[in-house]
Structure 1
Amino acid sequence: MPSLIDDVLRRLYEEPPDGFVATRAAAIQQARAAGDRETAKRLAALKKPTVAAWVVNLLVRRRPDLIGELVELSGALRAAQRELRGEQLRELSEQRRRFVSALVAAARELAVAAGAGAGKLPLGEVESTLTAALADPEVAEQVRTGRLIRSAAYAGFGEVPRPRLRLITGGEQEGVAEEPPARRITGGEQEGVAEEPSAAVERVSAQQRAARERRRREAERRRRELERELASAEAAERRADEHLERAEAAERDAADLVDDLEAELAELERRRTEAVADVARRKQARRVAEREAAAARRRVGDVQAALDEVTDPS
């Protein structure tokens, strides 16, 4: 049900989070009523966004022009960081601060217009998420989907932690796990020894590679666990389907037997009705015969009396 999913996604990630659970529950019930269990399952997997994530999603959906500028600036900043061009990096960093401030102000205005209290908005988290998006084009693209459920933060050099997403595109779900923030290194590890920027970047890169390898191994372990759970669930589903088929066959047999017995009962009832009618007819015939027999006996008596008078005239 793509139309249902699209409409629910728009409402879930554009409307304030306090109505998320009720909106999702109503959509799940609608999908189940339509017999679409797969859509109901996918809708149930959607996660409620934090208020900060909702504010960012609202900005993405209501002001896509600003998000387009954010993606462009993200690429320029990333290129300057890779090439370590100090003057350009400082200029772009200043531009980033001004741009993020403008984005936060626009997001605040949209959230207040949507019914959120201005004093309760976590604008610091909104700012950190937008800053992270500017520091990493991949995060910028994720923010651009408008389906964040958590905020993100940037800690310095290297990759930024990915905000957790759960997307439905074309009926499929995709997830991006939240990564731990990278450690910022501004100096050497030994006291009094300065570290070149390239060495700092290399050290962070090595740490990130190790962290990615740990995450890869953990993801592989989790994948194997889920595959085992899936195999077990599929086997249980097959057994349940077989049991259901047997139960349905037994139900059909019982229903057929009831139909046969009802047909037999109908035939017996018809025969009983005919027999009752035949008994009534025969009873009537017996009564007629009794009357005829009584009349005949009277006639015999009368004739016998007349004969006796003729035989004995005295």
Structure 2
Amino acid sequence: MPGPSRDLIEQLYGTPPDRFVAARDAAVVEARRTGDPATAREIAKLRRPTVAAWLVNLLALRRPALVAGLGELAEALRAAQRDLRGPKLRELSAQRRAVVAALVAEARTLAADTEDAPPANRLPLAEVEATLNAALADPQVAAQVRSGRLLRAASYAGFGEVPRPQLRLVTGGAGEPSGGGRPAPGAPAKRTGRTREADRAASAGKADRAASAGEADRAARAREAERAERAERAKRRRALERELARARTDQDRAEAELTGATGAERDAADTLAAIEAELAEVERRRAGAEQEVSRRKLARRAAERAASAARRHAGEIEGAWEALLAEEGTADPGADTAH
């Protein structure tokens, strides 16, 4: 018969509830694309589990051996409850609490390792614990837990079974054989039959009273065990509440430290950005100064060349002037003599 594969179902019910519908709808589209409308309809019927049911499904899908061990423990608990074996029942109850606590812790670990899972402080671990306890008490719930397709959390008011003895009233009549008793010597036969009937009725009454007393005693013991179990649960709940309060205080402190560290990081980044902007401005000014120095250097060299040329030219003029003076000084005496 067509239908979704086991791998697909396990994949869907191992998906966090917030993404379940999108994953299911994508599987429906894929089944229709491959020409399998019947499977698409079956996939579309799958319902999203609650967060608590999803955590239990994670245990069944990823830790099936641990979940399977609940069945053996449940049977041992029921046997001890039926037989009213007090020490054994207390031992198994302690074992049950340890096993359930370990499974709850494992569910929390699996959730932490799952992408897009709800944060740890929003996981309904109390509902997971209640569901596992219900699985230990109710075989039908246990079967749903093992399937890995649980839709919602389960709970159980009590724990175990209260045995009910099956009573059978032994009756007799005149037609029964009389070999079971002896008539009193000299008593009439009719009187002997009535005596046997009275003895049987008395025996039956005693059996009824004894059975009723035994049932009342067993019921009282069961109630006492249940009260002890409730007290233990209340004690553990108070311890968990204290632990939760401490965890939330630690979380608030860590969140405050994170906020402070984020602000300090942002301030440091702003300071670095300002320094980098200043460095960029200094670098820009440095480049401009270097260009100005280059221009001034070229101007100096040109001025040096001009000064050198001017000095040469002045030297040449001065030499010519001196030569002219010398020439004029030499010519004047001759001119005076001629006159």
> What TM-score comes out, normalization by structure 1 length?
0.49
| Bigger relative contact order (CA 8 A; separation at least 6) | 2
Q: Higher Cα Rg: structure 1 or 2? A: 2
